[in-house]
Structure 1
Amino acid sequence: MPAASSRSPAAKAPRRRMRLPWWALVLPVISFAVLLTLVASPAEARAASVPQGLGPLLELLAALVRGGA
């Protein structure tokens, strides 16, 4: 009677080496560098402004959400 194998079928399969694409390493490094630059020099960072045409539209949408028009 043959002995039962204690190895799982996944362990018998040949191992394939997985490699990350180049952008999977580069994008986090670029993101970190940009955020670090913004934190290091906050005087150069500017707040985003709302375009003139978008302000009234946002106010109208807020009024509609509140229930009054």
Structure 2
Amino acid sequence: MSARTHTRPHPAPRGGVDPRLPWWALALPLLAFVALLTLILNPSDAQAAAGEPTITHLVERAQQLIAR
């Protein structure tokens, strides 16, 4: 006795993956990137940077390198 196979009602996309992304798949990483970039460019807004002079110095050096 052979078993029946189920067929799909519509053809599968090429490569087996739907190429379209939901809106949040691009929006969330972009939002995280912008938030981290803002903290790097303005370290005075980051509360943890005030207690660590080494981290503050490192962020200032990164700002100088980016500004070049």
Q: TM-score range by the shorter chain?
A: 0.3 to 0.5
When Rg is computed on C-alpha atoms for both structures, the one with the higher figure is 1
**TM-score, normalisation: structure 1:** 0.43
**TM-score, normalisation: structure 2:** 0.44
Higher RCO structure (Cα 8 Å, ≥6 apart): 2
